[in-house]
Amino acid sequence: MQQLIRPSRSELRIDVDQSGDSIEAELDLLYGRLKTPGNAMNHCTRLSALRPGLLFHHREADGEHYVYVEDVARRRLAGYTVFNRLIEVDRRTDRYVRSPHSKYATVYQGRGIASAIYDWALGRGFCLVSGARQSEGAHALWRSLARRHPLRWIALRGKRMHDLGSDVAPASAAELDTRMLLLGRGFSVAGLRSRGLLHSCHERADRAGDMSCRSY
């Protein structure tokens, strides 16, 4: 059984600060679009209830997936999560990986909403790659997900994912191309390698004379 990794707080670049006022204004605008006939958001598909008391609306555009969370009783959006394509990977890898980003109003944070949506995406078979930087809330979310989903450290270089192993040294984790990879349903490290999606980091390091791929 593959060991699940719980990354420590010191291992990532946590320097994203999201203003509560700006998020509220954005959510008000999106809620208006969700309720406007003819708007693309008005044609979202409704997902099964991932959390009680909330509606989850899903749409796909250009290969990116958007999940909007509506609080019907309060007539507002609680927030949303978008699963972005990564410009850092090649076309083959792009079929299987997405980078999630979430924004939720303060009152809805810490209620497991984003976690439920990430679980939904992983259950659909997407592998999730963390962003170059994270907010403290996003980092806590990834720590929680790593308790129940296989996690791997990778380096995004040359449009490919290079395996860093199950743990990395703090100096390597601080590099902007170092990310966390959560494996979606049906995927394993061996499976990713056999499909040509996960490459040997040591092989690239030998060619480039770069020793930062060494895992600890």
List Cα–Cα distances, 108 to 23, 104, 174, in angstroms: 12, 6, 30
Token couple for 188: 């394993």
Residue 8 above 60 pLDDT? no
Query: Among positive and negative, which fits the CA dihedral 13, 140, 178, 116?
Result: negative
Mean pLDDT of 104-120: 95
Residue 196 above 50 pLDDT? yes
Given this model, what pLDDT does residue 166 score?
86
Sheet with strand 76-84: strands edge to edge: 45-46, 55-61, 64-71, 76-84, 97-104, 127-129, 178-182, 151-157, 160-165, 198-200
Q: Could you give all domains of the chain from N- to C-terminal order, each with its CATH number?
A: 14-208 (3.40.630)
Q: Is pLDDT larger for residue 63 or for residue 174?
A: 63
List Cα–Cα distances, 204 to 157, 158, 194, 210, in angstroms: 9, 10, 17, 8
Smallest Cα–Cα separation from 5: which of 154, 192, 162, 211?
A: 154
Per-residue model confidence as pLDDT tens digits over 55-93: 999 999 999 999 999 999 999 999 999 999 999 999 999
pTM: 0.84
Q: Is pLDDT larger for residue 169 or for residue 118?
A: 118
Predicted confidence band at 10 (pLDDT cuts at 50, 70, 90)? very low
Question: pLDDT > 70: what percent of the chain?
Answer: 84
